[in-house]
Structure 1
Amino acid sequence: MATSGCLTVGLTGSIGSGKSEVARLFKELGAAVIDSDQLAREAVKPGSLGLQQVVELFGADVLNRDGSLNRKMVGEIVFSDAVKRKQLETILHPIIRGLHKDKMQEIIAQGNLSLVISVIPLLFESGLSYPELSKIIVVTAPKSVCIERIMKRDGCSREFAERKFDAQMSPEEKVKRADIVIENSSSLSDLKEKVGEVYKSLVADDRF
């Protein structure tokens, strides 16, 4: 959706594909970025309804001493139990969706922006509608590359990294649903060039 001269675009892809790096490059070029991972943290901040519901689901053991959510512990639970993962998503996805809508309206109201990039890792898996997004970018990389990145980032075993990767929709299916695909298995300079080209094409969109 091009709203008040501002194009709103969703950015998704498999875990480990490099969505955060792509978002960072878009931000360097002048785009505003909404990070759904950050919204997910906000959804379960101490005192929130989201945190209360998560504790009701998993028990108080998933809380740190300061009352915050132990995200690592929850991750270990849900990536070992598909039913629990679905229950968690049922709680959090609608909350994150609402926070995203509010953040989008806040950014657009500020004006003077041509592009907003919304990073939504589970855009397709959530089953929720995001009609404000006019295009969808999918970031891809070979599974082997993604697994290595997950292991390095999270300090986890290969088995656990593969479990996290396989819990999401297949990269092939995500690509089928994409308007734009950015392949990210080469160098940072190569990725920067690709993002730059996509940025130019988006801001030059003839719907402005």
Structure 2
Amino acid sequence: MLVIGLTGSIGTGKSEAARQLEALGASIISADQVGHEAYTPNTEAWEQVVVAFGDDILQEDGEIDRKKLGAVVFSDPGQLDRLNQIMHPRMARMVSDKIEVLRGQGVGVVVVEAALLFEAGWDSLVEEVWVTDSPEKIVIERLKQRNGMSEEEARKRISSQMDRSERLERSDAVIDNSGDMAGLESVIKELWDRRVAV
């Protein structure tokens, strides 16, 4: 079984790349989905996050309001580190368990989609790392249009993640997503044919 880590800065098309890889036959493990599972009310991670960041981050139903939490952690690198120290080890165990379940099912290719793959140390869970990449100017425009962020918010979010050049240097393959969907699909299909379907 081939386990690929799919990473890239926010707004570079990771989720779309994951959908396209799934259409080619890969099984996808989404770090966002694993994070949602880890935030389940009254779990150990949930309790530690609430203790660390206060009841203000909770919705009425007890769920963590990820937008409120995001507003806190993405404006303060120390708070982001604090959250990551709570969440990353738990999520790594969950991702590892999911990989093993898929291995047991005889799955051929697994893609772990995670914006913070390197920062969380999850590159040790995969055999190859593929990174989606777009110029910062394009990313900022996407975040303004798709997420309704101001330019300042978009820049803060981008700067909270690993430096682009370091991410590219540490990756095995780069998925250039500076064009349209058809261009992305073409890049992914070519990469799949070259690295997976051999």
Q: What band does the TM-score fall into relative to the shorter chain? A: over 0.9
- Structure 2 residue aligned with 1:118, among 108, 112, 121? 112
- Structure 2 residue aligned with 1:176, among 166, 169, 187? 169
The SS at the match of 1:131 is: helix
Which has a greater percent of helix? 2
Is 1:99 equivalent to 2:94 in the alignment? yes
Aligned equivalents of 2:24 and 2:52: distance in 1? 42
Aligned equivalents of 1:141 and 1:10: distance in 2? 18
Aligned equivalents of 2:70 and 2:125: distance in 1? 30
Deviation at 1:137, TM superposition (A): 0.3
Given that 2:34 and 2:95 are in contact with CA atoms closer than 8 Å, whether structure 1 keeps it comes out as yes
Structure 1-normalised TM-score?
Answer: 0.91
> What does 1:44-55 correspond to in 2, within 5 Å?
44-55=39-50
Is 1:72 equivalent to 2:71 in the alignment? no
Aligned equivalents of 2:14 and 2:3: distance in 1? 16
Deviation at 1:38, TM superposition (A): 0.6
The number of aligned residues is: 198
Identify unmatched segments of 5+ residues in structure 2: none
- Structure 1 residue aligned with 2:151, among 126, 148, 158? 158
Deviation at 1:62, TM superposition (A): 0.6
Q: Which moved more, 1:10-19 or 1:148-157?
A: 148-157
Amino acid at match of 1:158: E
Aligned equivalents of 1:58 and 1:191: distance in 2? 38
Superposed CA RMSD: 1.2
What residue in structure 2 maps to residue 140 of structure 1? Answer: 133
Given that 1:114 and 1:203 are in contact with CA atoms closer than 8 Å, whether structure 2 keeps it comes out as no
- Once the two structures are superposed, residues 49-94 of structure 1 have per-residue CA deviations (whole angstroms, 9 ceiling, x without a partner) of 1110010011111100000001000100111111111100100111
Aligned equivalents of 2:134 and 2:74: distance in 1? 21
- Once the two structures are superposed, residues 110-147 of structure 1 have per-residue CA deviations (whole angstroms, 9 ceiling, x without a partner) of 11x32111112101122x25434111101100001111
The SS at the match of 2:124 is: coil
Given that 1:43 and 1:51 are in contact with CA atoms closer than 8 Å, whether structure 2 keeps it comes out as yes
Runs (4+) off by over 3 Å: 129-132
Structure 2-normalised TM-score?
Answer: 0.96
